[in-house]
Structure 1
C-alpha cells in the first residue's frame, strides 16, 4: 500500500485535494434562520459545485508540476461557471423576495450571491494547498496543510456584525396624536385608531447608535436598513398580513446625529431579544462606506 502511495503521488494528491476541498465547502455550508440554502435540494446543488471546485483546484497542481501551463486555462472556465452560480442565486432570491412580508432587499440578495461565488474560490484554494503538499512532500503533510487551509478559509466565512460598528439601545414607542415616534425620532403618520391600538400593544422600538463616522454612513444605507428589518422579522415574526402597510417594520434615520430608529411589531414581543438579534445582524459588504479614508485636505 505504501509503495502504491509513493508511486501514485499525483493520484493521491488529487484525492486529498478533493476530500479537503469538499470538507471546506461543507464547513462553510449551513442552513440557518434564513432557511437558505434550502434543504435538501439547495444543499445538494452547492455540495455538487463544491466537488467540482475541489477537483479543479486539485488537478491544477499536477498540471503546474508537469509544466502543462495551457491546462491551467480551464480555471477561467471555472470562474465563468461560478459567476453563473452568483447570477443563479441572485435571480432565485429576487423572485422569492417578492413573496416575503418583509423583503430582504437587493443589497442583501447581492451579498448572499457574492458569498456563494466567493466560497467556491475558497474551496479551490483549499484543494490546491492540500494537493500541493501531498504531491511535493508526503500525504500526511497534505492532511496538515488541508486542515490549516480549512481553518484559514473559515476565518472568512462571515464578516462583521452590527455590534462591531454600532451600539443598540431599547427605545420608547410613543404615539403623539397621529404621529409615531421611537424616542425622539419620527417614524410615520398613523391615520387609523385601530392601527394605533395595535402599535401600542405590540410595538417595539430600538435605536442604533453608530460608533464613528464610517458606521454612521453604513447604517444609513437603505439596503443595510432593510437587511436589519428582514433579519429581526424572520426570527421574531411580524404582526401583519399582506395589504397592511401601516404595520410594516420601518427604520428611520435621525439626520442630525446619525442614529437609526427601528420600529417593528413582532409576534414575540421581547425587546431584549430583538436588541441581541440586531447586534448580531450582518454588516453587508455592499453597504460599507469609509468616508474617513478619503484624501481630503482642508485649506485656509
Structure 2
C-alpha cells in the first residue's frame, strides 16, 4: 500500500481512538448505553475519515475534496441541535431539571469533540506522509493521551470552598446557616425537610468565582447532579420539597438545600465538589483592562 493509504488508515484509527477516549457514560446516564454510544462512535468515525483524507487531498491538489469539511461542519452543528432537543425533552420528565445552561454545555461539548477528532486525524495523517508511519503512531498516542486531559474541565471545588451548614427554622422561614431559603407553610413539610434535608454553603474563592457561582444555570447544575447521584426525596405536586439554592447578597456565599433519598452529608459534599463548572457560567470581570470601562 502507498503512503497516502497508510496515512488515511492510521489517521482514521487514531481519530476513532480519540473519540472513544472522549466518550464516557457517567452518572447523568448520557450518552445512553448502547444506542447513544453507537451514534457518537459513528459520527466519530466519519469525523476521523474526513480529517485523515484531507491531507492526501491537499497534497494531490484535489481542493474540491476539502469542501467536504465544510459540509461536515454543518452536520456537526446539526448534531449539537439534536443533542439540545433530545436533552430538553428528557429534562421535562426530571423531578430536578438540568436547566438550559447545562443542556447547552453538553451539546456544545459533543460538537466540539468531533472537531477535535478531525484535528487529531489530520495531524496523524500529515505526520505519516512527512515522517513515516511510526511517526504518525507516536502523534496518535500523544493525541489520545491529550484527549484524556481535555475530557474534563474545572469542578466546583476549584472555585468555591464547600462545607456543611445547619438547617434551622424560624417560624415558617427556613435558613441554611444565616442564609434565607424560603417560607414553608405546612408543619408536615417543615418536619420532613428538617429530617431529610442537608444544608451546604459554597463560599467563592474570589470575585470572579462569586459571579460564576451566582449564575442560575450553575446553581441548577449543582442541584441536578446531587439529585442524580443521591436521588431526591420528593414526588410531583410537592413544591415545598424541592432542592434549591439562594445567595447571600452581602458576601456572595451560596446556600444550598438538598433532599437526598439516602441522607449522607459527606457524600453530598463530595458530589457538590465534583459538579462541573459550566462554560456559560464563567465570568471574569477582574481580567478586563480598566480602559474598557471608559464612558464615551
| CA RMSD in angstroms, aligned pairs only | 1.2
1:64 aligned to which of 52, 58, 68: 58
User: In 1, distance between residues paired with 2:102 and 2:267?
Assistant: 22
Deviates further, 269-278 or 222-231? 269-278
Determine if contact 1:239/1:265 at 8 Å carries over to the other structure: yes
User: In 2, distance between residues paired with 1:207 and 1:245?
Assistant: 22
2:282 aligned to which of 252, 275, 288: 288
User: In 2, distance between residues paired with 1:108 and 1:259?
Assistant: 21
Residue 18 of structure 2 corresponds to 24
Residue 43 of structure 2 corresponds to 49
1:147 aligns with 2:141: yes
1:92 aligns with 2:86: yes
Determine if contact 2:21/2:147 at 8 Å carries over to the other structure: no
User: In 1, distance between residues paired with 2:276 and 2:72?
Assistant: 29
Determine if contact 1:129/1:149 at 8 Å carries over to the other structure: no
**Pairwise CA distance, 1:153:** 2.8
**Pairwise CA distance, 1:90:** 0.2
The ranges of structure 1 where at least 4 consecutive aligned residues each deviate by more than 3 angstroms after the TM superposition are none
CA-to-aligned-CA distance 1:261-288 (integer Å, 9 cap, x gap): 0001111111111111111110000010
Residue 205 of structure 1 corresponds to 199
Alignment of 1:224-235 (within 5 A): 224-235=218-229
SS in structure 2 opposite 1:155? helix
2:211 aligned to which of 203, 208, 217: 217
Determine if contact 1:107/1:224 at 8 Å carries over to the other structure: yes
User: In 1, distance between residues paired with 2:42 and 2:145?
Assistant: 21
Residue 127 of structure 2 corresponds to 133
Q: Which runs of 5+ in 1 are unaligned?
A: none
User: In 1, distance between residues paired with 2:178 and 2:92?
Assistant: 32
**Pairwise CA distance, 1:16:** 0.4
TM-score for the superposition, normalised by structure 2? 0.97
**Pairwise CA distance, 1:48:** 0.3
User: In 1, distance between residues paired with 2:170 and 2:7?
Assistant: 70
Alignment of 1:138-287 (within 5 A): 138-287=132-281
Determine if contact 2:3/2:129 at 8 Å carries over to the other structure: yes
User: In 2, distance between residues paired with 1:157 and 1:145?
Assistant: 18
User: In 2, distance between residues paired with 1:94 and 1:128?
Assistant: 34
Residue-pair matches, total: 293
Determine if contact 2:156/2:275 at 8 Å carries over to the other structure: yes
User: In 1, distance between residues paired with 2:208 and 2:194?
Assistant: 34
SS in structure 2 opposite 1:257? coil
**Pairwise CA distance, 1:294:** 2.4
User: In 2, distance between residues paired with 1:158 and 1:200?
Assistant: 35
**Pairwise CA distance, 1:130:** 1.4
1:81 aligns with 2:75: yes
TM-score for the superposition, normalised by structure 1? 0.95
User: In 1, distance between residues paired with 2:210 and 2:125?
Assistant: 45
